Structure 1
Amino acid sequence: MNRRIVVGLDGSAESVAAAHWAAREALLRRVPLHLVHAEIWDPPLIVAAAGSEERRQAARTLLREASDELLDKHPQLDISAESFDGQPAASLAHATAGASMLVLGSRGLGTLRGFVLGSVGMAVVHSVEQPVVLVRASEDALPHVQGRHLDRGVVVGVDTGRPCDALLSFAFDEASRRGCTLHALHSWMLPPLAGSGAAYNPEVNARIAQLKRTGLDDILRPWQDMYPGVDLDAQVAVGPCAEQLLEAGSEAGLMVVGRRIRRSSVGTHIGPVAHAILHHSTAPVAVIAHE
């Protein structure tokens, strides 16, 4: 199986940042990097056919310049490039078949820190079963940064009711490769009336918190045994899951969230927590598809 990393390029600052992030990740994993550009070349009847060839040439120039820039920064990197004539989301999904990861740029929200995940990015996240990483054009993703993103920790949310091997495998593996701390967080909510004080019982809630912590430790123990070199920071917190994860990941080098694979005629759904993380995380976000 081809374990290369695929990155989508569209000429935006975000996609260039994604390419540099993906290049460092490819070196960590010792795998090739494959640059992909996709758009529909065939013009409408009212547009001159010459426009298609101009766009093809622009795509070739984009890929060549990106390859040259990455090789100048990382001469040991194995890089290939490819352009597709077709719908970008479908083309990226095709190019990612058999790969280990797809990396895309994602636009910031201006004065609000976070992601805007466009229609192409959302379609790809829904359709690709390999890990998809969304990267902003932030300081840490810029080409002159050497390794800063590697030591800032990996954050993963853990559902103790439905633990996910794919999610934890990816998170532990990333932390191991980076030599950084893995922050595993499980959040839970107080009983409905506890916020008003009517049903708040410190002893009961302390017991619940201890049970939650025991459940988290039990889930993480086999993974800690498999990755003894990973510095694991396991935490249980009270509050909405997305809010807790965003707070924990405010200074992280990578956030890891899950997306349940749903094969049905009613479409796809990434879940409210993953959706919130994708749109508001300031760190790169890895979306891991799982059953």
Structure 2
Amino acid sequence: MNRRVVVGLDGSAESVAAAHWAAREALMRSAPLHLVHAETWSPRPGVPAARSEERRQAARTLLRDACDELLDRHPRLDISAESFDGQPAPSLARATAGASMLVLGSRGLGTLRGFVLGSVGMAVIHAVEQPVVLVRAAEDTLPHDQGRHLDRGVVVGVDTGRPCDALLSFAFDEASRRGCTLHALHSWMLPPLAGSGFAYSREVNAQIARTERNGLDDMLRPWRDMYPAVDLDAQATVGPSSQQLLEAGSEAGLVVVGRRIRRSSVGMHIGPIAHAILHHSTAPVAVIAHE
């Protein structure tokens, strides 16, 4: 049986959009969908027990209404729901154990199109080693959008100097399931000398470009062989990686980035590229943890 898709639900418009995105993803994978709501409602000093019971009942109502709405739109969906009394990050991490992915909603940056990754979202990303997908409550991901997220292409950022099977496996698998183009983007920067007023010759620049392109082709070759039906668009471009990915992903159905798993308990860094994509992407973003 395919592993379930888990979505965190808190009643916000963003989490509702995430639930609908996750429902379509679960159907595409022939996998069950599991809704999770987590918050601390245990009685605390000075808080009446009745108040805690009200919040617990509100959580049950939230999950029941969400299930009804999703089943009304997707009658074939295998759906379940669960609420936790506890902090969201560790609760969602426990619920996601053994799942194929976790889907979360994230609010937009005011008049800018992008994500706000708050402390809870950041904590969840670091607590979960399965893929985490961030979805905004934007026009292109609201419930009425039935199929566009499947056919707009998948964009993945790759670093030829640090091969990552987990990242490419997820990206190729998503493109294969969706039947869409996979845009694999490797960005590189000219050596410092080239940007200090001493331009390299055209031949030297061309040689650097060929080397970068060959490295990308070498990295992708085994994946081309494993997924021959995937329409692969591989590009090696000059410029900042985050900027190149944001431009390439502006019309994508999904942008895929990696983050290194940090075993240290100090800090929760996800890397500058993933950080930039999460905060400014107009498309859903999948964060893939890897060693």
TM-score bracket, normalised by the shorter chain, equals over 0.9
CA distance in 2, matches of 1:29, 1:2: 7
> What SS does the corresponding residue of 1:112 show, helix, strand or coil?
coil
Question: Does 2:194 align with 1:194?
Answer: yes
Identical positions, percent: 86
Residue type at the aligned position of 2:160: T
Alpha-carbon distance, 1:47 to partner: 2.0
| Match of residue 31 from structure 2 | 31
Q: Is the 8 A contact 2:176 2:230 kept in 1?
A: yes
| Match of residue 56 from structure 1 | 56
CA distance in 2, matches of 1:107, 1:54: 26
Alpha-carbon distance, 1:269 to partner: 2.1
| Match of residue 274 from structure 2 | 274
CA distance in 1, matches of 2:6, 2:220: 30
Alpha-carbon distance, 1:196 to partner: 4.2
| Match of residue 13 from structure 1 | 13
- CA deviation digits over 1:22-49, x for unaligned, max 9? 0000001000000000000124322221
CA distance in 1, matches of 2:127, 2:18: 19
| Match of residue 177 from structure 2 | 177
CA distance in 1, matches of 2:67, 2:82: 11
| Match of residue 98 from structure 1 | 98
> What SS does the corresponding residue of 1:186 show, helix, strand or coil?
strand
Q: Is the 8 A contact 2:2 2:30 kept in 1?
A: no
Alpha-carbon distance, 1:58 to partner: 0.5
The answer for unaligned runs of 5 or more in structure 2 is none
| Match of residue 236 from structure 1 | 236
CA distance in 1, matches of 2:238, 2:131: 28
> What SS does the corresponding residue of 1:187 show, helix, strand or coil?
strand
Alpha-carbon distance, 1:197 to partner: 3.2
CA distance in 2, matches of 1:52, 1:201: 71
| Match of residue 149 from structure 2 | 149
Which one is further off, 257-266 or 238-247?
257-266
The answer for unaligned runs of 5 or more in structure 1 is none
- CA deviation digits over 1:75-99, x for unaligned, max 9? 0000000000000111000100111
Q: How has the CA–CA distance of structure 1 residues 20 and 164 changed in structure 2, closer, same or farther, with 3 Å as cutoff?
A: same
| Match of residue 204 from structure 1 | 204
Alpha-carbon distance, 1:139 to partner: 1.4
- CA deviation digits over 1:142-190, x for unaligned, max 9? 1111111110000001100011000000000000000000000000001
State how 1:51-90 maps to structure 2 within 5 Å.
51-90=51-90
| Match of residue 127 from structure 1 | 127
Q: Is the 8 A contact 2:2 2:29 kept in 1?
A: no
Alpha-carbon distance, 1:127 to partner: 1.4
- CA deviation digits over 1:190-245, x for unaligned, max 9? 12132343133221111000000001001101101100110000001100100000
TM-score (norm 1): 0.98
TM-score (norm 2): 0.98
> What SS does the corresponding residue of 1:113 show, helix, strand or coil?
coil
